[in-house]
């Protein structure tokens, strides 16, 4: 009689532990519980998925979209003596001259310069010209950014 009681208690404990483990790891719907709520959107109807686009900031960094409205995150502040518009004006007057800037300026905090990809009226083979504005001198010059070996003539 005592042995049947011990067996019954053991079976109840094993079944209880099994149910605990089942519901702990699989939840009540039979689907494995997910510890990362971002990948199990069906479990959270308020989850928002944003596109994986990036926006290039003036300091050269990039920011992505953030929920809930999927707006771009704000760019970090640029600690420059010149605004991007002021630097662009210097670039257009000094070195672009009749060409055009292809994109917004990128600020290099280490060299304290604004860089503009430039579509110039003159070209050099294997080069990608940029107009570089020095914020301290408020002057600009062309940096040809050439790649590869250029043999002397």
Over residues 54-99, the pLDDT tens digits come to: 988 877 788 999 998 999 999 888 778 888 888 888 888 888 766 6
Structure-model confidence comparison of residues 29 and 7, the more confident one: 7
**Counting every residue, how long is the chain?**
153
- Please check whether residue 88 is in contact with residue 80, taking contact to mean a CB–CB distance below 8 angstroms: no
- Residue-wise DSSP of 1-63: -HHHHHHHHHHHHHHHHHHHHHHHHHTTTSSPP-S-TTT-GGG-TT-------EEE-TTS-EE
pTM score, two decimals?
Answer: 0.50
Other C-beta atoms closer than 10 Å to the C-beta of 140 total 24
Closest by CA to 79, choosing from 56, 110, 115, 55, is: 110
- For 15-43, what is the mean pLDDT? 64
Using the structure block, give the residue that is written with the tokens 């579509």: 119
Q: For residue 27, name the pLDDT band (cuts at 50, 70, 90).
A: low
Cβ partners under 8 Å of residue 58, min gap 6 = 75, 78, 84, 104, 105, 106, 107
């Amino acid at each position: 009689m005592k042995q049947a009681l011990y067996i019954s208690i053991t079976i109840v404990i094993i079944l209880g532990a099994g149910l605990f483990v089942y519901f702990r790891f699989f939840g009540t719907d039979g689907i494995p519980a997910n510890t990362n709520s971002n990948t199990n959107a069906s479990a959270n109807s308020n989850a928002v998925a944003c596109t994986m686009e990036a926006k290039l900031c003036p300091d050269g960094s990039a920011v992505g979209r953030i929920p809930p409205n999927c707006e771009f995150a704000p760019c970090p502040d640029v600690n420059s003596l010149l605004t991007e518009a002021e630097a662009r004006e210097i670039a257009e007057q000094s070195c672009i001259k009749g060409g055009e800037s292809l994109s917004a300026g990128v600020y290099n905090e280490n060299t304290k310069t604004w860089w503009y990809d430039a579509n110039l009226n003159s070209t050099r083979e294997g080069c990608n010209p940029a107009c570089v504005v020095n914020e301290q001198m408020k002057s600009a010059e062309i940096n040809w950014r050439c790649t590869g070996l250029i043999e002397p003539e």
